[in-house]
Each structure stands twice: as structure tokens, then as C-alpha cells.
Structure 1
Amino acid sequence: MDNKALFRLSYGVFMLSTKAGDKINGCITDTCIQVANTPTRVAISLINTNYTCSLLKESGLFCLSVLDEAATFDIISHWGLQSGRNVDKFDGMNLPMDPNGIPYLSSSTCAVISCKVVEQVDLGTHTLFIAEVLDAKVTSDRNPLLYADYQKRIKPDSQTQKTQRKIKGWKCRICGYIYEGPDIPKDFLCPLCGHTREDFEPVYED
């Protein structure tokens, strides 16, 4: 199976933030669709091993920043390629808050949507959250960033970067799983989060 075929699906790219007590975090997700009207509901999916997922299960509230075509890899890397368990992603940032006191991105976004979870479904590697939209606003006239555009235009091809250092394994940027060995199969899927080979980075010998 050619997993790149899935890149052609019309996903967006979003920064989802949530707050549980004094704990706050945000992550990148490419899964959000509107699934109902009256009341308006959306569905989002998060990796179960993500810190943001555990906080959302606790809080039941989230704010979705819809990234637009001005978003850069630095933005996606900050929110999506490091864990909130190890880094305070909001440190030094003075971000606006939604009506529930959850911060959202004020730049490189075209919309902000505040939601309350009404149902959760465990999908194994991910949890599907069905949520009622509590508030929403347009923040720019730019087009939303599509996942296919991220793959084609923004995401660097780390697999082709040459180095003199010896590779001993490959680490999933999404969940941290490590594949042992210098060569990772082209059709490899992460056993924890299901992401493809393109989301792995080399681990070098010391």
C-alpha cells in the first residue's frame, strides 16, 4: 500500500490547546471535521500517548487554532514535534484567551473555534473526541493550510539529508517510538501512533 495516497485527503492543519487546572498544553493535529448542526459539532482525533490528549480527557474543553497558508515549519515544529511533558510550549508567549480561558494562536491562523467535548471514542492508538462548538471567529482572510500542502511545501525532507555520522535507529517525531537499525523500511508504520516513515528522524551513534 502506498501511504502517500492518504496525503491527498483534504485535511487541514490545526493547533489544539487545552487547559486542565493549572496545566496547559497544545499540539498539532490534522484531524478535525464538522459532523453535525444544531448544535454544531466537530470531531477531532488525538494520539493517546500525547500529553495534550491526557489533559483534554481531564478538562473536556479545547480551542482549535486553524493554521493558514502563512504558517511555517517553525510553528508546526514548536507545537507538534516536542512534548509538553518536557517543554513548556507557552513559556514567554502572551497569547489571547478564548471564553474558557484557553490560549490560542493570534498569528498564522484564519479561524479560532472553542469546543466542549460531549463524547469520546477510544480508537486504539488515538481517541476520537466529539465536541460541541461553543464559540468561533474568523481571524484572517488567508486560506487554511491543507495537510497535502504541508507535506509538499512546508515539511523538510529529513530522510534525504546527508551526514557523516552513523545512524543507529529512527525516532518517531510524533510519539517518540524508536525503530532500531540504520535502515527503516519505506512502508514502515509506527506501531504506537500509526505515522509513516516520513515522520521519523535519524538517531545517531554518540
Structure 2
Amino acid sequence: MNEKSLYKLSCGLYIISSSYEDKTSGCVANTLQQVTSSPVQLSITLNKENYTEQLIEKSGKFNAVVISQNIDMDVIRRFGFQSGKDIDKYEGIAHREDRQQIPYVSEHTCAYYTCKVVSHLDVGSHVIFVGEVVDMEVLSEEEVMTYAYYHQVKNGTTPKKASSYQEQTEKHGWRCSICGYLYEGEVLPQDYICPICGAPAAVFEKI
């Protein structure tokens, strides 16, 4: 069974954000989809250990933006491989606030959707949230970033907490224990920095 066939599923990449009291966070996900048209409802699936998921649980609201192909990989690194418990995800990032006072990335994004949670489903390691769209807008006409484009052109990796994460076992070299990036080679330079999450050589594991 070839799990890489899952990369062929047609889906985009999105930044999902939420806020509760004075706390705000966001994360990258590829699981956003429309589920109904009247009213318009979207679903999102997030890992229970994800800080953004915990804020959605408490606040009952979230927003989502569609990422464009032109987005800086540093933004994906910030939202995809660092925790909102440790850093302010939006510090130094161009952003606006939606009608629910949740920030969203405003540069190199194609559209945004503001949602109030109407139902959720526990599916083990993850939770599926269904949100009714209370506002949405086109932000740009840039080409959207698909999941396939992220892997094939941007050489992106997938966080371990993502629902689409796949354990890489067929290659040899060094693997970043934070984001899963693979460095192929017998010797990893001591001053090497992961190009995806910015982690130092010390966190790489020999595979």
C-alpha cells in the first residue's frame, strides 16, 4: 500500500486561527472543506494537542485563509512548526482582524472565511469542527497553494501532528525531530539549520 497516493488528493493549504480571552494562535492545515451551501458551512480537522484546536474548543470560533503560492516559507514555518504557546504567531506578520476579532494573515493569501462552530466530532487523535460562515471575502487573485505544490515545488514537509503526516522510512540520512525534514547524507554539519522549521543540528536524528 503506497501512502504517497494521499498526496494526490486535491486540497489546498490554509492557515486556521482562533482566539480566546487574551490568547491567539494559528496553524497550517490541509483539511478545510465546504460541507454545505445553505447555510454555508466549512469543516476543519485539527489534532487535539494543537494549541489552535484548544482555543477553538474554548471560544467556539475560528477563521481560515487560503494560502497563495507566493507566501514566504517563513510564514509556513511560523504557523506550521511552532506552537502558539511559545510565541506570538502574528508578531511581525502582516495581518488584519475579522468581525470576531480573530487575526488573519493578509499578505499572499487568496480568501478568508470567518466561522462560528455549530458542531464538532471527536475522531480519536483529532477533532472535526463544523463552522457556519458568518463572513468571507476574496483577498487576491494569486494562484492558490495546493498540497501537491507545497510538496513538489516548495519541498515542504508535514508536521507530525497533522492528519496527513506520513512516517518516512525509505530514505537514509538525518531527520529533523521537529518537522520531519530529511537531510540526505552520512554526516550532518554541526552548524546545519533546518530549512523548514529553523531547528539546529542537535535535534536531528540519524535514520
Q: TM-score range by the shorter chain?
A: 0.7 to 0.9
| RMSD, matched Cα | 2.0
Contact 2:95 2:107 in 1 (8 A): no
Matched residues in 2 for 1:137 and 1:2: separation? Answer: 38
Matched residues in 2 for 1:194 and 1:106: separation? Answer: 26
TM-score, scaled relative to structure 2: 0.78
Structure 1 runs (4+) greater than 3 angstroms displaced: 172-175, 201-205
Equivalent position amino acid for 1:11 in 2:
C
Matched residues in 2 for 1:21 and 1:196: separation? Answer: 35
What are the residue-to-residue correspondences of 1:67-78 with 2, within 5 Å? 67-78=67-78
Equivalent position amino acid for 1:44 in 2:
I
Name the SS of the counterpart of 1:91 in structure 2. coil
Which sections of structure 2, spanning at least 5 residues, go unmatched? 169-178, 183-202
Name the SS of the counterpart of 2:96 in structure 1. coil
1:156, CA displacement in angstroms? 4.7
Matched residues in 1 for 2:204 and 2:4: separation? Answer: 26
Contact 1:125 1:194 in 2 (8 A): no
Which sections of structure 1, spanning at least 5 residues, go unmatched? 158-171, 176-191
Partner of 1:20: 20
1:155, CA displacement in angstroms? 2.5
Q: Deviations over 1:73-123 (max 9, x none)?
A: 222111001111122212244521101111111111010110011001011
Q: Deviations over 1:37-68 (max 9, x none)?
A: 11111111111110000010001111101101
Identify if the C-alpha distance between structure 1 residues 142 and 64 changes in structure 2 by more than 3 Å, giving closer, same or farther. same
1:196 partnered with 2:176: no
Name the SS of the counterpart of 2:121 in structure 1. strand
Partner of 2:191: none
TM-score, scaled relative to structure 1: 0.78
Contact 1:119 1:129 in 2 (8 A): yes
Partner of 2:86: 86
